[in-house]
Structure 1
Amino acid sequence: MRQAAAELAARCEGQVNRLARELAERRFAAIPDYADLPADMRDVEIAATARYAIRQFLRMAAGTPVDQDDLRLFRERAAQRAEEGVPLATLLTTYHIGAEVIWDALVAEARPDEMDALLMLARLQLRGTNRVVVAVTEAYQAERAALLDERREAVRDVARALLAGEAAGATAARYGIPLADAYLVLDLRLKDGPPNAGVAERRVLRRIRAGLEGVGEGTPLMLPDEHGVHVLMPAHAAERLPELERLLVGAGTEAVPVIAGAARSQGTADVPDASRQAARIAGIAQATGRPAGVYELGDVLLDYHLTGPGDSGRVVAAALEPLDAHPELLETLRAFLDGDMDRRRTAAALAVHPNTVDNRLARIARLVGADPRTTRGMLLCATALTLRGRGGRA
């Protein structure tokens, strides 16, 4: 039977070129994008690989021993296709089409007394196809993993350059990473993770990365450091901040909740400043025990200013701008603070009823977003009044 199988395979070896052409025709019909491939890839490389694969199987079936070196061309082509972006499914489909072409040729060539030999060749073909498909898949995946690592490092290099205020255009262009005119900068902190949370944190970050790719355009620029992870997204992503917050909070867990500071750059030159602001906001939110979420400057404004005035004086002073159109509210706020937050004393100073003071304070709280009847609101309003008198200077 082995001899009969070898003779049957040998009779097909002269048909290699015809079988390769038939393989190309079937591939063209089965794979929609096949005709769009470059001509040198389709008509030279793939055709040569098809002839090699068909000839190799027929010779193996005829008794020629095979070893791992016979898989080298398949591995090389698989790595090349991975680099060129050909889908793995498309690549594997070509090998299964090739197996069909060879089987049809064997069936057509077999004589009635060679059925047992044909069955032996079917088993050999299944083994041979599996051997090639495994080698091709391994080589393809290894190359894709290497390309992914290279691109991920390139993304980090671009993020690192932008955060340092350096030119990032060359690296971005080389790897096809789009650069925005301005950025929403996030500083992520995995809040209070347990000491052994390494795996859990990596899972959270993986979910964040996948989610951000769906929200923004292209790959988010992410760069980890000792405190957390910097994320740069095109500035228009700020319009979807509530969605981003849901994504980030949802990616976290009870053991590893996510806190993020957010700041917006005006261009690329001030990305470092936005990053420092986002990191400071995240640090304040984390240190003051705030729940998982995304925080901007306005959410931690008083803490931000008191822990290091720097760039926040004008923003704190501007907190009371909604009252500029309501002089009676500003007057009430000043009287309320001067009267040590005593509504009756305030009412007497303004010659109004205490209920009027209550109504005005409630309006102030709605307009400013901070209630002067609370400790934090009182501190913010008092600080803002002082800074307004100094022109917004800290």
Structure 2
Amino acid sequence: MEHDVPRLARAVIVEYLGPRASDATVPELLRTTAPHTVRHFMRLFLRAAAQGREIASEDLILLDERARERAAEGIQFDQMLTAHQAMAAVLLADFQQRFRGDAAELGAFAALLQQAAGRAMAVSLRAFQEAAQAAVTEDPELLDELAEDLISGRPAVARAAVQGIRLPRDFTALALFVDQDTDERAATPGYRTAASNRKNRRVRAALAAELPHPLLATDQGAYVLVLAPGTVDRQQLHRIQGRISRAALAPVRLGAARAEDHGAVPAAARTAVEIVRTAAAFDLPDQVLELADVAVPWQLSRDTPAARLLTERFAPVLRNQDLAATLTAFVQNDFDRRRTAQAQAVHPNTVDNRLHRAARLCGADLTTSAGLLALAVALAHHRRTDAQPSSAQVFRDPA
């Protein structure tokens, strides 16, 4: 039956949605995330049934994730219960249709399916209730304000203590840049805000499931800034990024920086944002980054009077699309003219001509180390200023 799982998953979605199954306005999570969850559960169950064993609760981590996300979106649990019932019904009906054994075998399959469905519902209900209870007992606005106080350098310990919240001594500041999901990109302007709000609630639920309570997070412009207690190691950073990306149904880039105490939080938060921004400006492939991962482009692209002077000096070159592309490729290919020619799909002589032309326009000798370093700084500064909003634009001034 396992090779039929995609077909069975589609049948579950049709059973769940009813007349809406062919509606083009059905949210993206019901077209992608929900079928993925159904396929995951079905494969787990069928493999366990083939071995004559029950599904263990630890196998159902994905259902735990999905239940927390749905709770954050305000979906009622009876809707999730309907989906679980549809999964069990479709599996049992398909097995009965193809079954050729005796009644005892059918009964054994039905008993395993009942156990699996019951355990799946129990895991989902527990996760749903925990997420819903956290939303009730914790004041999201207060936690956002505490995060903003710490990030802005304002005192927060006394205010937190009044509310019974004990703040950690040190943090890891996380800056998350979450791209638009399919619903946001496809939505009309009036609907886009609602789609974005749904995605943001899923992101918050994913963060709450990965990090200790209370969750100190706040939206700052293009970024979500999170203050994770203590030190977050590389493995956990990757796990957080992966979970948020799955919940958001969109690419996520994460920058992290340590704050040894509350006074260091503003600088750590700014560093985390600049890490993400630098990675985006230089098209770095990694999705989880710390300062060491962006040290060279970070340093080359700092906004200093000298960097602005060099950028102005190379402005005639940077305004020319062909010259700018060739010089960028030249730097990216370690100043190798033949590799630059391959990257640009031109003859090496064309690269030479463009380099000579650029040198004449900006008055720099690109055959010397000084000229090449000046070029690298100008290109880095130019790319960075064209990237996402800077930390100065993202952070509010302290009140």
State whether TM-score is above 0.5: no
What is the TM-score when the length of structure 2 is the normalising length?
Answer: 0.38
Larger radius of gyration: 1
TM-score normalised by structure 1 residue count: 0.38
User: Which is bigger in relative contact order (C-alpha 8 A, separation at least 6)?
Assistant: 2
